[in-house]
Structure 1
Amino acid sequence: MAENTYRKGDIIELTVTDLAEKEQCFGRLPCGMGVMVSGMLAVGDRISARIRKVRQRYIEAQAVEVLEPSVDRVEPPCSFFGVCGGCKLMHVGYEAQLRYKEKKVSDALRHLGGFVDSPMAAPLAAPSPEHYRNKIEFSCSSKRYLLQEEISSDRLQAPKNFALGFHAPGNFEKVIDIDRCFLAKEPMNRVLGLTRRFALENNLEAYGAREHTGFLRNLVVRYSEERDELMVNLVTSWYDRDLMERYAVYLEEGMAGAGMTIVNNVTSRRNTVATGEREYVVRGSGVITERLGELDFRISANSFFQTNTRQAEVLYRCILEGAGLREEDTVYDLYCGTGTITLFMARHCRRAVGLEVVESSILDARSNAEYNNVDNALFFQADLKDFKTMLPTLEAHGRPDVVVTDPPRAGMHPKALEAMVQLGARTIIYVSCNPASLGRDGKEIALAGYRMESVRPVDMFPHTAHIESVACFVRE
């Protein structure tokens, strides 16, 4: 078929040669035309696909059938794979996942950063690709997402007006009712099952996002590996003291022997965000404690904490290794959150200064410093796009020898990036959760007179397309 004869609706055959963002893959037709294909595929799959759009330089298509499976393809253990949007790579063997993620970082550095020969090490694999998360947010909805087998058979497997699980991809009001998440610790899955049973037995009305009605909104479960502690946070539209007392007794009986604190976040906001305007501690202290390295962190219901505890330690040791700290050094930690990296660094230098825009995070960071008896860490609330205006105040504590920056997925604000390189630190450690941002910001850091010395991907989130990277830049 000649290139100009392809039409919408045609069935084409091709081999997947690369993975792209979200659920898209890439391949080429014999004529050389590129094809972006939607569907849960693996590199090496020989597929048929239906054309959706013919553009000037490439074709968009939807996968129809895997004709010859890739050697990288495996059977996903989760029955909700392909419906739930969480684990987009569960059908790919873990070694192949690591190769894909390594290539993703390398491509971004080459194409967006201009680093032709980036000094990149192999990704650090997670000890286990399953049951690694220490926090899971489940959503509750009055509109249950119907599975294809239910629609085909016209026979419901459960009530349509209640679901506790994960939002269907691209749908803010419908939730997939799941019984188990393969990324959650098993005690967290037990809490999920008990909470669903309690809600159904007590006729609790699920929240309707469009109508803004209903009582039960979210279930957030956190787990401390170090202390074997659970935090159960039920997010509701109003406070019902007697009901929460019955729920606590129900959980305690069902989770016999488990160390547990139970809290109730209450919100009247018109959204599905799992945080409250008010918080009630129903059982226990309202916090759990987790350990990273030699530090203990008290985690409250709405605190930020890395969701993969063991790999967070690996990530932080990579940061420490790249920084090459000396006893007399001053470190600035930009986008410091609750201060985990700042405190990790403070034990190896003269002073560590953390900057963060969120007030509650700064309060948590100061509390964590006090809890761990770290007296050489300072924390300031600051909007980093106004970083330059803060420099006179910060320099009273010493100009930085090392800067660590851990920005959001979008990367650093241009003004913050400009001010950071003007500090003239000996070393800049850029911690990235988005290879594209690392490529773009890394290019600007290099143009300011820094050499990229090393890049180390760290797989914090197996079965997903996300990859963390620690990049070390040394001033020329």
Structure 2
Amino acid sequence: MKDKSLKELYRKGETIELTISDIAEKDQCFGRLENGTAALVKGMLAVGDWISATITKIRPTYIEAVLDRILSPSADRIEPECPVFGVCGGCKWMHVSYDAQLRYKQKKVHDALVHIGSVEDMPVNPALPAPGITHYRNKVEFSCSSKRYLMPEELKMDVLEKPKDFALGFHAPGNFEKVLEIDRCYLAKECMNSALRVTREFAQEYGLEPHAVREHKGFLRNLMLRYSEEQNVLMVNLVTSWYDAGLMEAYRDRLLSSMPQQPMTVVNNVTSRKNTVAVGEKEYVIYGEGVVQERLGDLHFRISANSFFQTNTKQAETLYEGIMTMAGLREDDTVYDLYCGTGTITLYLAERCRRAVGLEIVESSLADAAENASRNGVTNASFYGLDLKDFHTVLGTLEEFGLPRVIVTDPPRAGMHPKALKTMIRLQPETIVYVSCNPANLARDAKEIIASGYRLEEVQPVDMFPHTSHIETLACFRRTV
């Protein structure tokens, strides 16, 4: 007798029960029903949870469902600290013990390499834990909106405690115009939470109009905060649609009087763009230097409001030391650092080799890289402006630096451009250290690197972002031919 299809076995809206056996992508988890049917379930779940769920879609080989309730909790499950957990979307794993988070992330990297990269069962080292799992971010960006996202319990209220037309917090998941108002972020430094409170009170007292995305009007757009671990200095960057000198002076005075013990600098980025990116077309320094300084290892970095810098300062040092160990540098080496950004990795490399060459397309990042090199007295680092998809067109020019024995590549989340990947392999370095924030794209590129005569020697996940599903990974490739 012919086996029945899933559409014959199940119907949309039907309730099912199953045990979660694995973590999947996009806030989904995986499990199987008693008859072996595969299911992807959306919800804040942990491996080992026994749940009931409602079927939302029936695919040819699996079903999709949404969590109804947890019938029996996993041993990995804990009570999340944050009152808006499950709605905010930032700390999607705060309901899972930290030991379990590290196991999940290690498995996530391993599974990507096996199933996407076709790498034979490559051992993946246990993920290196972060020294602190809350209040670890040195940068947090809040958004302001004229449309506040209402919590589920508020939808049942006749009278709301907070206004609907003002919110300062994080964008609601999947909604570009509504903002979930929060009082405290458990990943931010406490001084950042204080600045958030002061800014909200100031904005409401002065009647500052929040930005309306669709209408493209309103004054207050973003509150971006940076913190220097080395200096204990807080940068407060208010992003607005236009500049108001008197208002900014009043805002500065309010911050200083409300947070007298906190060293700070205050800047105002102004933008007329329609997008919601917290980067201004013009910047005004309202108080202090307008920058903060940070240290990684023996290097010091000057960070402006719009500069890139690793978000977890303490764990960034762990990541960089891992790069150095894998690179195995010699004093006479030439090293290329692809997608070098503001040159933090390049300068780290330069301390232990003859010459380090950083390649990057973003002009402002290159300017920051050159300044960072000068500030630290590093004379054996060079930076070259280049779109890495055109890498092959300038090989002759780069030869003046010397061909690299080691290449470090730290591409964006989308992975390396195929042309850049091919050119990197053509250079035939002895060692490639691939730094990835996306296990799937690391696996994709690893497959091609291995096929070109390299052996994947070591894989080391580094947990930069506790309570989230994100994992940074170091992969070391050695040439075999």
Bin the TM-score by the shorter chain: over 0.9
In the alignment, is the contact (CA less than 8 A) between 1:355 and 1:382 conserved in 2? yes
Question: Displacement, 1:3?
Answer: 7.8
1:227 aligns with 2:226: no
- Out of 133, 150, 156, the position equivalent to 2:160 is 156
Aligned counterpart for 1:116 among listed residues 97, 111, 120: 120
C-alpha contact 1:8 1:54 (8 A) present in aligned 2: yes
> Mean Cα displacement is larger for which, 153-162 or 208-217?
153-162
Report the Cα distance in structure 2 between the residues aligned to 1:446 and 1:306, rounded to whole angstroms.
29
How many Å separate the matches in 1 of 2:78 and 2:158? Answer: 31
2:43–2:66: 8 Å Cα contact kept in structure 1?
A: yes
Q: Following TM superposition, by how much is the alpha carbon of 1:154 offset from its aligned partner in structure 2, in angstroms?
A: 2.6
CA contact (8 A) 2:146 2:212 kept: yes
Question: Quick one: which amino acid aligns to residue 463 of structure 1?
Answer: H
Q: Please report how far the alpha carbon of residue 30 of structure 1 lies from its aligned counterpart in structure 2 after TM superposition.
A: 1.1
Match of 2:13 in 1: 9
Aligned AA (1:48): S
1:328 to 309, 329, 332: 332
Instruction: Return closer, same or farther for 1:239/1:3 CA change in 2, 3 Å cut-off.
Output: closer
Q: d(CA) in 2 for partners of 1:119 and 1:99?
A: 13
Q: How far is 1:340 from its partner?
A: 0.3
Q: Distance in 1 between matches of 2:19 and 2:123?
A: 31
Q: Specify the SS of the correspondent of 1:303.
A: coil
**Cα offsets for 1:191-225 (capped at 9, x unmatched):** 00000000011100000001111000000000001
Equivalent position to 1:35, from 29, 34, 39: 39
Distance 2:256 2:139 in 1: 19
Give the structure 1 partner of residue 343 of structure 2: 339
Written as runs of structure 1 = structure 2, the 5 A alignment for 1:124-273 is 124-273=128-277
Q: Which among 40, 48, 51 is matched to residue 52 of structure 2?
A: 48
- What is the letter of the counterpart of residue 363 of structure 1? A
Q: Which amino acid aligns with 2:195?
A: V
Asked whether the 8 Å contact 2:124–2:459 carries over to 1, the reply is yes
Kindly provide the CA deviation profile for residues 386-428 of structure 1, in whole angstroms up to 9, marking residues without a partner as x: 0011111111110001000000111111100000011111100
Pick from 341, 355, 358: which aligns with 2:359? 355
TM-score, structure 2 normalization: 0.98
- Aligned residue among 399, 404, 417 for 1:413: 417
Q: CA deviation at 1:115?
A: 1.4
In structure 2, what is the equivalent of residue 94 of structure 1?
A: 98
Q: Matched residues in 1 for 2:261 and 2:466: separation?
A: 30
Q: Alpha-carbon deviation of 1:119? A: 3.7
Shift of 1:271: 1.2
Q: Read off the aligned partner of 1:369 and give its amino acid letter.
A: A
Shift of 1:157: 2.0
Q: Which residue of 2 aligns with 1:369?
A: 373
Task: After TM superposition, give the deviation of residue 153 of structure 1 in Å.
Answer: 2.4
The one of 281, 288, 291 equivalent to 2:292 is 288
Letter in 2 for 1:217: R
In structure 2, the residue matched to 1:317 is 321
Partners of 2:6 and 2:60 within 8 A in 1 = no
Runs ≥4 residues deviating over 2 A = 1-5
Map of 1:443 onto structure 2: 447
CA 1:2 to 1:390, structure 2 compared with 1: closer, same or farther past 3 Å? Answer: closer
Q: 1:2 deviation in Å?
A: 8.8
* Alignment partner of 2:108 out of 82, 93, 104: 104
Deviation at residue 257 of structure 1 after TM alignment: 2.3
**2:70 is aligned with 1:59:** no
Deviations 1:36-75 (A, max 9, x none): 1011111100000001111211001111010001111110
Counterpart of 2:258 in structure 1: which amino acid?
G
Matching of residue 457 in structure 1 with residue 461 in structure 2:
yes
CA contact (8 A) 1:119 1:452 kept: no
Does the Cα contact within 8 Å between 1:3 and 1:31 map onto a contact in 2?
no
Q: Which moved more, 1:231-240 or 1:115-124?
A: 115-124
Which amino acid letter does the alignment assign opposite residue 61 of structure 1?
A
Task: Return the match for 2:282 from 268, 278, 284.
Answer: 278
State how many pairs are aligned: 476
Cα pair 1:262 1:286 within 8 Å, conserved:
yes
Q: Provide the rounded CA distance (Å) in 1 between the counterparts of 2:459 and 2:175.
A: 36
What's the RMSD between the two structures over aligned residues?
A: 1.0
Give the conservation status (yes or no) of the 8 Å contact 1:51–1:62: yes
Aligned counterparts of 2:307 and 2:299: Cα–Cα separation in 1: 16
For 2:261 and 2:127, the matched residues in 1 are separated by 38
Match for residue 380 of structure 1?
Answer: 384
Asked whether the 8 Å contact 1:320–1:345 carries over to 2, the reply is: yes
Percentage identity across aligned positions? 65
Residue type at the aligned position of 2:216: H
Instruction: Give the distance between the partners of 1:365 and 1:143, measured in 2 at CA.
Output: 39
Asked if the contact 1:329–1:400 (Cα under 8 Å) also holds between the matched residues in 2, the reply is yes
The unaligned stretches of length 5 or more in structure 2 are: none
Show CA shifts across 1:73-130 (max 9, x none).
Answer: 1100000101101111011110000010000000001111111231421110001111
Whole-angstrom CA distance in 1 between matches of 2:147 and 2:363: 35
Equivalent position SS for 1:282: strand
One-letter identity of the residue aligned with 1:302: N
Structure 1 residue 328: Cα displacement: 0.1
Q: Which amino acid aligns with 2:85?
A: F
TM-score normalised by length of structure 1:
0.99
Aligned to 1:194, the other structure's residue is in SS state helix
Partner Cα separation in structure 2 for residue 454 and residue 339 of structure 1: 24
How far has the Cα of 1:303 moved from its partner?
0.1
Cα distance in 2, alignment partners of residues 52 and 159 from structure 1: 34
